[in-house]
Amino acid sequence: MDIQKLTIGQMAELNRVTRQTLRHYDMEELLKPYDTDPETGYRYYHVNQSARLDMIQYLKFCGMSLDQIKEQLQCADTNEIQHFLTQQLGFIDQSILKLNQSRRAILRAIENYDRYKLLPQNPEVFHERLPARKIYTHTSQINFFNQEESGYEMMLRELKQSLLDRNLPVGYFCNVGTIIRKEYLARRELCSNEVFVFLEDDFTGIEQPEVLPGGQYVCICSDDFYQEADLALRLLDYINEQGYTIIGDYICEVIADLPFFDKSPRNMVYKIQIPTL
């Protein structure tokens, strides 16, 4: 192989790129062949041009676009290059952060389905010890229990917008829930204008998030959206009968949200939880 005059195919093979890529870089003025036959248009490369190709690939690997790379290879100031690299580092760190969020979002989805499968088939009261959980709450004008499903949907839209406004990852818009505050509960008043999402334990995007206390809860599950009020009252009756004391807010957590199966709006499984002593 003549090192001095490589055809595009040889140059491509030597550097493990495709011919198309080299043509593309030629067009984009990123890497011009050192010679082009004016008659045939054949491109001829020199092996030394690999250095520039290396640098292009390296910068590409660092996450730069071809335009950015072109700019960098033109600018001769090392300070500027260092500044650019530092900036690029920031971008990458952000990407990693995002991917980690995606990762956790997927893990949560998988957990969701696991929990969904383990649920008791019929709605019956059970006891559970739950850990403390951080939440982000949105307060709406709408009272959940006075509304049709569309009202709930609207509350969720508000919550979502609220999350987006605070730059909280949409991934969190997965496990949501509603709250009935203790005061209302004491009066058997089903009144809830607050929806929330669970935050990860290590999430620090919010200064002082509300925390649902850990401890003993009485719970009940269902997949019937319209049954919640009934179940809530049943749970309150149960608590009375057993002589327990309610020591915190009522929450209704969406365990699994499955808009897969049919065209009905929300197709979900939820778990009502009341902390008791």
Partner DNA sequence: CCTTGACCTTCCTGTAACAATAAGGTTTAT
Partner DNA sequence: ATAAACCTTATTGTTACAGGAAGGTCAAGG
Q: Which residue ranges make up the site for DNA (CB under 7 A)?
A: 7-10, 18-21, 23-24, 37, 39-43, 60, 65-67
- Between helix 8-15 and helix 19-27 the angle, nearest 10°, is 110
x/- track of binding to a second copy for residues 77-116 (CB under 8 A): -x--xx--xx-xx--xx-xx--xxxxx-xxx-xx--xx-x
For residue 159, which amino acid is it? L
Q: Minimum distance from CB of 71 to a second copy (Å)?
A: 11
CB 217 within 8 A of CB 128: yes
Which residue carries 């839209």 as its tokens? Answer: 157
Whose Cβ is closer to a second copy: residue 177's or residue 248's? 177
Residues in 13-52 at the binding interface with a second copy, rule: CB under 8 A: 14-16, 46-52
Between 151 and 215, whose beta carbon lies closer to a second copy? 151
Out of a second copy, DNA, none, what residue 81 binds, judged by CB under 5 to 8 A for its kind, is a second copy
Backbone angles phi, psi at 2, to 5 degrees: -75, 115
- The reply to whether 161 sits near a second copy by the rule CB under 8 A is yes
Write down the least CB distance from residue 72 to DNA, Å.
Answer: 12
In the complex with DNA, the residue whose CB is nearer, 23 or 181, is 23
Q: Going by DSSP bridges, is the β-strand pair 35-36/176-180 parallel, antiparallel, or unpaired?
A: unpaired
- Kindly tell me the burial class for residue 140, based on how many C-beta atoms sit within 10 Å of its own C-beta (0-12, 13-18, 19 or more): buried
Q: Is 58 in the site for a second copy (CB under 8 A)?
A: yes
103 binds, among a second copy, DNA, none (CB under 5 to 8 A by kind): a second copy
Q: Among residues 71 and 230, whose Cβ is nearest to DNA?
A: 71
- Nearest CB to a second copy, comparing residues 134 and 160: 160
The Cα–Cα gap between 263 and 211 comes to 35
Cα 272 to Cα 195: distance, rounded to the nearest angstrom: 14
Instruction: Give the dihedral sign, CA 5/8/9/12.
Output: positive
